[in-house]
Amino acid sequence: MYFITPGKYKNLVLLLASLFFYFYGEPIYCLLMAASIISAYLHGIWIDKKRNSRHHKIPLISSITFSILALGFFKYYAFFIGNLNNILGSSIDPLHLALPIGISFYTFQILSYTIDLYRGTASVQKNFIDFAAYVSMFPQLVAGPIVRYTTIEASLKKRLHTVAGTAYGINRFITGLAKKVIIANPLGELCATLTALDEKTVVIYWIIAVAFTLQIYFDFSGYSDMAIGLGRIFGFHFLENFNYPYIARTVSDFWRRWHISLGSWFRDYVYIPLGGNRVNLLKWIRNIAIVWFLTGFWHGAEWNFIIWWLYFALFLLAEKYFLKNLIEKLPAAFGHVYLLAVIVIGFVIFNADGLTEVFQSLKGMFGLSGLPFSSPETVYYLSSYSFMIMIAAVLSTPLLKTGIKRLSGYQAGSRITEILKPAMQVSMLLLVTGYLVDGSFNPFIYFRF
């Protein structure tokens, strides 16, 4: 339908498809997304009209307030009311509303539009269909990446559709789907199986931690690949969201490679406006604390996410003042081991269901729970899944990509890769289809965000 529709109606087709896509999974919350779109559209026009007036900040503040209140109510109301009840002994109804899918992503996209419009780095969008298509665009609506309005502003009006672009998009989509279904889902099954065991061991806790660390990378980067691929099919060039984060040597480098769209969003709209690192020490620590508190809280209204942001903020502060210089003087392998240890423990905190589970998992990993180091059952699971974990570990690095690139540098190798690439893509698509038809375990990790 999209490709046979005349150019000026293509955004309308995208909008209708996106609304149907969202309605199919979240019927009632379509109204919330529609209200958010209408609010942002009207606020954008208001901001543009008041640009040179004395009260030019009022429409921006109004827009930010509406967006944050909507996000805060649905995502954080139950958390705050639950804690208030615990402190005061009250019995206020926390409501326990279902979290609207994708609200964190489309809210941040709306905020980027109104803030950039206020700053003068974006032009007001007066075509409601184009703006609604941007906010609701289904390829990245429910799991990112966070696409800023300025990234696709020109493409909303005019974009190029090519066979090469469509082919790239299809290949990228298949790659992302394969990451999700063939790698992330089996790792998720392993985590679920081992977590449900009554008798765990120290090694079991470490297997769960490593498996989840790999699972969340392939799950989330797989979704990003699918979004980027679908976007390219429709002529949009979404920015990359992951850049092999597990090959980093420091925490700061890791966060430049992981969920790039979220990190850059907080950098440009929170960290730099606060003064960034061009301030004295106390203010810089304040800036880091604010950014990482918001980063942690963005991921979820649970105490373990607050511990998670504090954990990484402390490592970033330590790297800034002494740890990074020490790591750079040591062999590269030390930096990689350090980073992976920090990240694995960080994702244990991230994955836990509350603080009790955080401490239980960490005590189990470090032998503080009186558990045996291993057991025959542990050896069975380790031998059964070790090959899959090793394959996932290798594929989380650029080794395969580098090898294919080097092979393509030779004439014979180039011919081989030209034949093998499409054959591999078709094979992966068939394999993925088989997995989806045959299996029922298909968790959506980023649903909770």
54-63 residue pLDDT tens: 888 999 999 9
Q: Is residue 1 part of a domain?
A: no
- 202 part of a folded domain: yes
Does residue 286 lie in a domain region? yes
Same domain, 236 and 365: yes
Q: Summarize the confidence of residues 86-108 as an average pLDDT.
A: 89
* pLDDT tier for residue 165 given thresholds of 50, 70 and 90: very high
Residue 447 confidence class, pLDDT cut points 50, 70, 90: low
Domain boundary pick from 112, 139, 159 = 159
Identified catalytic residue from 55, 56, 96, 299:
299
Give me the percent of the chain exceeding a pLDDT of 70. Answer: 99
For the cut 90, the answer to whether the pLDDT of residue 391 exceeds it is yes
Residue 284 sits in the same domain as residue 150: no
User: Quick check: 449 pLDDT over 70?
Assistant: no
Same domain, 136 and 239: no
The yes-or-no verdict on residue 446 having pLDDT over 70 is no
The alpha carbon dihedral of 16, 18, 19, 24 has a sign of: positive
Is 43 one of the catalytic residues? Answer: no
Q: Residue 107 and residue 37: Cα distance in Å, rounded?
A: 9
pLDDT score of 417:
84
Q: Do the domain assignments include residue 374? A: yes
CA distances for 380 relative to 198, 203, 204, 371, 377, angstroms: 16, 12, 11, 18, 5
| Same-domain check for residues 152 and 179 | no
pLDDT tens, position by position, 209-226 = 999 999 999 999 999 999
Residues 169 and 133 in one domain: no
Q: Count CB-CB contacts under 10 A for residue 292.
A: 23
Query: Does one domain contain both 287 and 425?
Result: yes
Give yes or no for a contact between 143 and 448, defined as CB atoms under 8 angstroms apart. no
404 shares a domain with 303: yes
Our measurement of the distance from residue 22's CA atom to the centroid of its chain's CA atoms, rounded to an integer in Å, reads 19
End-of-domain residue from the set 144, 159, 174: 159
Half-sphere exposure of 376 (CA within 13 A, CB side): 0
Say how far apart CA 230 and CA 223 lie, in whole Å. 11
Q: What is the mean pLDDT of residues 69-81?
A: 91
CA–CA distance, 121 with 35 (Å, rounded to integer): 25
Dist. CA 274–CA 263, nearest whole Å: 15
User: What's the confidence (pLDDT) of residue 135?
Assistant: 96
Boundary (domain end) residue, out of 159, 182, 206: 159
What pLDDT digit, counting tens, does each position of 343-358 carry? Answer: 999 999 999 988 899 9
pLDDT at 444 over 80: no
Which element (helix H / strand E) includes 306?
A: helix 303-318
Alpha helices (H) along 319-410: 324-329, 332-351, 355-365, 376-395, 399-408
**pLDDT at residue 128, as a whole number:** 97
Question: How many domains does the structure of the chain reveal?
Answer: 2
pLDDT for 184: 95
Q: In this structure, are 151 and 168 located in the same domain?
A: no
Q: What is the DSSP letter of 323?
A: I
Coil vs helix vs strand at 153: helix
Q: Are residues 175 and 126 in the same domain?
A: no
pLDDT at 302: 86
255 and 399 housed in the same domain: yes
Q: Does 94 sit behind a cis peptide bond, omega within 30 degrees of 0 on the bond before it?
A: no
- Has residue 239 been placed in a domain? yes
Q: How confident is the model at residue 448, as a pLDDT?
A: 59
Domain hosting 257: range is 164-448
Is 27 in the same domain as 91? yes
In the chain, what percentage of residues exceed pLDDT 90?
73
Average pLDDT, integer, range 254-269 = 95
Q: Are residues 216 and 274 in the same domain?
A: yes
CA atoms within 13 A on the CB side of 116: 20
Within-domain flag for 2: no
